[in-house]
Amino acid sequence: MRLAEEYLDAIYEEFEETLEKEGKGLPAVSEIAYDTTDPFLVLISTILSLRTRDDMTLLASKTLFERADTPEKIDALETEEIERLISKSGFYKRKAIQIKKISRILIDKYQSRVPSTMEDLMALPGVGLKTASLVLNLGFNIDAICVDCHVHQISNRLGWVKTKSPEETEKELRKILPKRFWISLNELLVRYGQHICVPISPWCSKCKEEIRCPKVGVKKTR
């Protein structure tokens, strides 16, 4: 089943209108990535976002990048200093080690540049499918579907896919989603998942798709 472009255009318009009216508070994905298209800053801030609240990710990213915003500057820091700077992020000790290692690899192997292929990105410590896809999207404007918990959950709720993990969702969305929606899908659904289609008791009463949405897996709505 390939999703019709007319249907997706309507979804985008409805979601954007709802967000404009209702969306307040939490940062959008562009702010999670420190409001930048610099591939290195996107990469590091996305690593910081893993298993961390969006507001804490933004704070940790700002604190780190005010001190060090290039592979060379981060490589020059002691691991303990990186830990202190990103302490608002979850699992910050592990992430500090990963960020330090990534910076060294970029210096030694890629002339301090972030690689622009999925294969090379996923070979870096701590970089999975979500992180690599977001770096390709925001850092290089390369078509890739970034699937986090929001995209995974909403895609299943809408009945687009029937999957158990973000990795499975990414593979299925590649089959049914026209390429022109790949890059923008993550930002739209993350914002929608933050404000309207939240994980528990979504605000279906505010959603223009409420009538058509099958609400797969939803037990209680608002």
Q: Are residues 189 and 157 in the same domain?
A: yes
Across the chain, what does the average pLDDT equal? 90
Inside any domain, residue 215? no
Residue-wise pLDDT for 68-124, tens only, equals 999 999 999 999 999 999 999 999 999 999 999 999 999 999 999 999 999 999 999
Percent of the chain with pLDDT strictly greater than 90: 70
**175: its two tokens:** 């089959």
Q: What is the CATH number of the domain that holds 18?
A: 1.10.1670.10
Inside any domain, residue 121? yes
pLDDT (0 to 100) of residue 35: 59
pLDDT band at 23 (very low <50, low <70, confident <90, very high): low
Q: Give the mean model confidence (pLDDT) for residues 2-27.
A: 84
Chain position carrying tokens 């579907």: 145
Structural domains of the chain, count: 2
Q: Are residues 198 and 149 in the same domain?
A: yes
Inside any domain, residue 109? yes
Report whether pLDDT(148) > 60: yes
Residue-wise pLDDT for 49-58, tens only, equals 888 877 788 8
Q: Would you tell me how many other CB atoms lie within 10 Å of the CB of residue 206?
A: 16
178 contact partners, CB below 8 Å, separation of at least 6: 2, 3, 5, 8
pTM of the predicted structure, to 2 decimals? 0.75
Inside any domain, residue 216? no
**Final residue in a domain of this structure, among 140, 172, 187:** 140
Q: Are residues 131 and 150 in the same domain?
A: no
Inside any domain, residue 211? no
Q: Are residues 91 and 111 in the same domain?
A: yes
Nearest to 69 by CA among 101, 49, 43: 43
Domain boundaries, position 35: 29-140
pLDDT (0 to 100) of residue 26: 47
**35: its two tokens:** 């409001």
pLDDT (0 to 100) of residue 143: 87
